Amino acid sequence: MANYYLAVDIGASGGRHILGSVEDGKIVLEEIYRFENGMVKKDGHRCWDTKRLFGEIKAGLKKCKETGKIPVSMGIDTWAVDYVLLDENDKVLGNTYGYRDHRMNGMDEEVYRIIPEKELYARTGIQKQIFNTIYQLTAHKVKEPELLKKAKTFLMLPDYFHFLLTGNKVSEYTNATSGQLVSPETKQWDMELIEMLGFPKEMFLPLSMPGTVVGKFSREVEEEVGFSCEAVLPATHDTASAVMAVPARSEDCLYISSGTWSLMGVENEKAICSMESMEKNFTNEGGYEYRFRYLKNIMGLWMIQSVRHELKDAYSFAQLCDMAEEAKEFPSRVDVNDGCFLAPDNMTEAIKTYCKETGQQAPETAGELAAVIYQSLAESYRATAEEIETITGKHYPAINIVGGGSNAAYLNKLTAEKSGRTVYAGPGEGTAIGNLMAQMIKAGEFTGLKEARASVFESFGVKTYGK
């Protein structure tokens, strides 16, 4: 009998429990459980309901027991940058804020009073995003200093969930790097920077690599879910897991991890912390085996997801793609990375307003709205590919798209057309597969990343677009 491994993959809009096994060298997936996620309004802020999310994690584990498919190990990945602060009794201090909350407004200037922006980039290699952990912790320092003073442990969200399962506190490397507080040289927290910023350095735990064993379930969790297994760190940042699953046929390929966000980049052995890189807003996030994910955050399917909800979910994403293709002659475009699209009260109105303010025709129909979004995204991908080639001095003839967005056939076709590159689309469950790969490599199912990636290419239907 093949061993089962469990990936708990939690995104900003939903989570899923996916069992994986290796049969005849191929990875086989089975979705066991799925649940909704989203920020909740609390005290006027956008927050995460971690208690409910942990309940969903356990509900999915119980489903494994019900089906008689008990994993030998499991691991949790989530989106980046968000965290909890624990007190001396391991209780959460205050709210667990979401990255779309507005409390970080102005916190960049607070940070730059202590360390100039250029110096910060040269030191961390991480692109400026107002929701980065560095600005969130600064908001804690400025607005809730009493909570920060009480904090004894800092844990990113997946590390917190692993702690709730096992009672062991372990901080994972790839997710930590996204927060702009880790040194690309030492691959550990930059304690000198942390002290400069006035954060309690004793609350930060040493960083561990994917494949590290966190521990077995606590007795309490074991009794509730009906079994115990090892929690093993995947790349807990969902994009780091998704990039692990890129079924690259060569080293010289671009990738897009396509979901709520589109993360587009390449893998490098060393961080690129040049001023040109900073000005183009590229980041050097940590990856598996200390590879650097040199990438740019691009507003992804968040825009079309939001418009779909505003249309009362009357259309599937496939239908919206078809409608966008029918309206392909509609001429207007938006800068998908403009801050007005990060968390608008109404995405449809934000797009219309942007078009009007830039002297363009405002979209009226669902097809026109979808056309503006998909065309604008594809053009952003093309521009980003060209920037990467300029900075690295390399040519990348192919783009590998993984994640849920790899199913958007029309967007894939547009990306190939506009970029002049071959697009390989799939697998769709890239993040969960990458999560499983870290566990499978740890267990000896694969000798390493290269063999695991070759298996991904053979295991899942990767579609080709363009030349």
- Strands in 398-402's sheet, in edge-to-edge order, are 283-286, 292-299, 261-268, 254-258, 398-402, 422-425, 463-465
* Res. 433 pLDDT band, cuts 50 70 90: very high
Q: For residue 250, is pLDDT > 80?
A: no
Catalytic one of 82, 90, 238, 335: 238
The residue-averaged pLDDT of 114-134 equals 96
Cis omega (within 30 of 0) for bond into 247: no
The b-or-e profile of 16-49 (16+ CB within 10 A means b, else e) is bbbbbbbeeeebebeebbebebebeeeeebbbbe
Q: For residue 233, is pLDDT > 80?
A: yes
| Helix, strand, coil percent values for the chain (each to nearest 5) | 45, 20, 35
Mean pLDDT rounded to a whole number for the chain: 96
Q: For residue 88, is pLDDT > 80?
A: yes
The token duo for 285 is 């996030």
Give the model's pLDDT for residue 291: 93
Phi, psi of 403 (to 5 degrees): 95, 180
- Percentage of the chain lying above the pLDDT 90 cut: 93
* Res. 264 pLDDT band, cuts 50 70 90: very high
Residue type at 351 in one-letter notation:
I
pLDDT tens-digit map of 199-215: 999 999 999 999 999 99
Tell me, yes or no, if the pTM score tops 0.75. yes
Higher confidence at residue 53 or residue 259? Answer: 53
Distance CA 14, CA 346 (A): 20
* Res. 344 pLDDT band, cuts 50 70 90: very high
Q: For residue 467, is pLDDT > 80?
A: no
| Closest-CA residue to 161 (of 93, 227, 240, 218) | 218
Give the model's pLDDT for residue 5: 98
Phi, psi of 401 (to 5 degrees): -110, 125
The b-or-e profile of 71-94 (16+ CB within 10 A means b, else e) is bebbbbbbbbbbbbbbeeeeeebb
Around 268, how many Cα atoms within 13 Å sit in the side-chain half-sphere?
22
Phi, psi of 368 (to 5 degrees): -65, -40
The residue-averaged pLDDT of 148-155 equals 97
Give the model's pLDDT for residue 377: 97
Q: For residue 248, is pLDDT > 90?
A: no
pLDDT tens-digit map of 217-227: 999 999 999 99
The residue-averaged pLDDT of 405-432 equals 94
> What residues have CB less than 8 Å from 59, skipping those under 6 apart?
33, 35
The residue-averaged pLDDT of 382-408 equals 95
pLDDT tens-digit map of 268-299: 999 999 999 999 999 999 999 999 999 998 98
Active site residue 238: yes
Contact by Cβ (8 Å): 184, 273: yes
